Structure 1
Amino acid sequence: MRIHVLQHVAYEGLGSIARWAEKKGYPLSYTRFFEDDGLPDHESYDLLLILGGPMSANDDYNVSWLQTEKSFISEAIEQGKMVMGICLGAQLIARVLGARVYRNTHREIGWFPITTTPNAMVLGLPQQFQAFHWHGDTYDLPDGAIAIGKSEGCANQGFIYQDRVIGLQFHLETTPSAAKELVDACAHEIDDGPHTQPAEAMLVDLELFAEANQRMELIMGYMADQLETNWYM
């Protein structure tokens, strides 16, 4: 499975997904927008993976490449590609599918539980689990998508569209070092809201990261299985 990554800022990378891809022998390629990289031909990859970032999915006139990126994501979905978006990536997918993206009532930053719908079972997610969050925006569920979960601070924590497109508002790929990078870059976003943790509380429990990374592997496994199924159809 050839994976192409859309990365928006240097401090939000693949985290544990990079280890998983290396273990499986899956090649990775990148468009790093912060380095002015170009976008590939759609035939050059099997899974498009869209990472997070501090910008809004609505920032078309403030972020020079955002309209081009959204057109690329839309083309990938239309061409039947496997697509996964994390945080901003999920919001970008929701936006190109016609849903509204907007400011959430409160920021959600830190470790908070997600309660899943029965739809999340195909991803290997339990009825409730802890996930790492760092977002201020949210989105409406796109037409034709099925919801996979919610938290106390955010009604839409993820969705599946046509079995091959996944949006995850939360982070399961985050490693302790990746979380530290995010804290160092975006500490100014940590407020005293009801769904925000202090930085030290986010970083202290290494077991939370290990469990989250294991769940991320299950979701990536689902994407690989879907691709293999499509090859033989």
Structure 2
Amino acid sequence: MLLEEVIPPLPDTPCNSPAGKLRRTDKVDAASISTQLSKLSQLVKNRSDGLEKLIGENKIKDMKEEIGRNTEQISGMTETIEFICSEVKGLKERVNVIDSQTKKVEIVSTEQEKRLAHLEAYTRRWNLRIHGIPEKERENVHQEVIDVCQRLLPQFKDKFPDVVDVAHRLGRPNPQNKGRGIIFQFTSRFYRDAVWRAAKDAEFLFVNRLKKTEDLSPADKARRIKLWPAVEKARKENKQAFFVGGHAFVDGTEIFPQA
């Protein structure tokens, strides 16, 4: 129907018979021929415009439909992206909150570890260890420790049964190792420190191959290992160097591990 509307119909066939052939002698009407050619040219032009218009409209329609579908898809993708962005933003906020809480927990945990290490080191300061006492069946470890303390400080002989609180062997029983050390605790730091000082140069311990040591925490042991080279060097230089728990002193001044 569109082609019929756009392309005009051809002119009706004339009823009269066509004119006879012009003879050489007939005169040609140039104006008439020019008019006919002009009409034919206009007719071709109109038909061409109609076809171009028809094809253009169809293509534009298809393009509009395609653009509409693409617009819907883009709109759907935009909504999806906005939803994902919103979720990501929410997750970032939660991660930030959790990260902040984690840092706080780490700080609290570090402080608690320091306090526990300090408390453990402080508690161990009431203890001493002795090595070299042979193990016996049905032995009284508590009395063995009291006897050693009485030999070191005879002037406090009557005090040690009361100030030596508990004593026991270190580690599990082992038939191949019958020389496990003994750890014992005092009820008084005064007597503990007095025994420790007396044990440093005690001939009794040397003769009986006994050795007293402090009861150090793992942290204090690690600290001593780091400080030992400096203490050893100071002693070779005839300086007064010693340990107190996990701390080291040279000529009365505390030294610290190198970073």
Give TM class, smaller chain. under 0.3
Higher normalized helix content (fraction of residues): 2
TM-score, length-scaled by structure 2: 0.19
Structure number with greater CO (CA < 8 Å, separation at least 6) is 1
